[in-house]
Amino acid sequence: MKLIARNNTQEKIHFRSDENGDDYIEGYAILFNQKSKLIREWGEVFYEIIEPTAPDNVLRDAGLNVIATIDHNREKMLGRTKSGTLELIKDDTGLKYRIKKPNTTLGNDITEMIKRGDYFESSFIFGIAEKGMRYDNTEDIPTRYISDFSTLRDIAIVINGAYANTAVKVLSRELENNPDNETNQEENAAACIDILQKEIEILTFKI
């Protein structure tokens, strides 16, 4: 089965804790109805839009076992739905993830790098159901609409992004004590310049 990686560029990062004092990493892996940057894939050139129905069947699966990673490296796992340390929440905006930050070197390091602004983008790896996509060819460059995932392999905090917007934040006690510490990040201008040069990563797994 071929699984496709799609990356999303974030808009802002901020820090705070929940009412229990637990620390979380939170953001949107997917924004619905958000037009991607230009994608070149398998000889095709197109834009892509994820429709709100896309994750429904995956989220209804009683055996849902999505993991949260750094840069899609499965050896750098931050949480997973099966253990309850990763929560996936669908709302009107998109598919939101909430990772309970592990008290590990990996968890502490990625939190620090998010705070510094080194990591500020989210990504997801998915498969498309047999009848889960359609093309709009009315423009010179077609737009592909994804309406149904066959699988959702993982969500990740990543370096590079392919969509125009997403949000990533670390929920920590820091903002509760210093609310002015919220930082707004602008979309990476260099990434915009390099749109036509960027290849979208295609990951092939044998299921």
What does the pLDDT average to over 25-40? 88
Model pLDDT, residue 38? 86
Instruction: Give the model's confidence band at 37: pLDDT under 50 very low, under 70 low, under 90 confident, else very high.
Output: confident
Instruction: Give the model's confidence band at 115: pLDDT under 50 very low, under 70 low, under 90 confident, else very high.
Output: confident
Instruction: Print the SS3 string covering 171-193.
Output: ECHHHHHCHHHCEECCCCHHHHH
The kind and range of the H/E element at 170 are: strand 168-171
Q: Where are the domains of the chain?
A: 2-197
What does the pLDDT average to over 66-85? 95
Q: What is the mean pLDDT of the chain?
A: 76
Summarised one tens digit per residue, pLDDT across range 47-67 is 999 999 999 999 999 999 999
Task: Using DSSP, state whether 71 is helix, strand or coil.
Answer: coil
Q: Is the dihedral of CA 77, 83, 53, 9 positive or negative?
A: negative
Summarised one tens digit per residue, pLDDT across range 188-199 is 323 322 332 333
- Report yes or no: 8 and 29 within 8 Å, Cβ to Cβ: yes
- CA 163 from chain centre, in angstroms, equals 10
- Compute the distance between CA of residue 195 and CA of residue 1 in angstroms, rounded to an integer: 27
Q: Is the pLDDT of residue 178 over 50?
A: no
Model pLDDT, residue 36? 85
- Report yes or no: 29 and 69 within 8 Å, Cβ to Cβ: no
- The pTM for the full model equals 0.74
For residue 3, CA distances in Å to 129, 152, 154, 204 come to 11, 9, 10, 6
Task: Using DSSP, state whether 84 is helix, strand or coil.
Answer: coil
Model pLDDT, residue 33? 93
What beta strand segments (E) does 1-148 contain?
A: 2-9, 12-13, 24-31, 39-41, 44-50, 67-70, 73-80, 86-90, 94-100, 121-128, 133-136, 143-146
Instruction: Return the percentage of the chain with pLDDT > 90, whole number.
Output: 47
Model pLDDT, residue 181? 40
- Report yes or no: 24 and 100 within 8 Å, Cβ to Cβ: yes
Model pLDDT, residue 17? 65
Q: Which residue matches tokens 């071929």?
A: 2
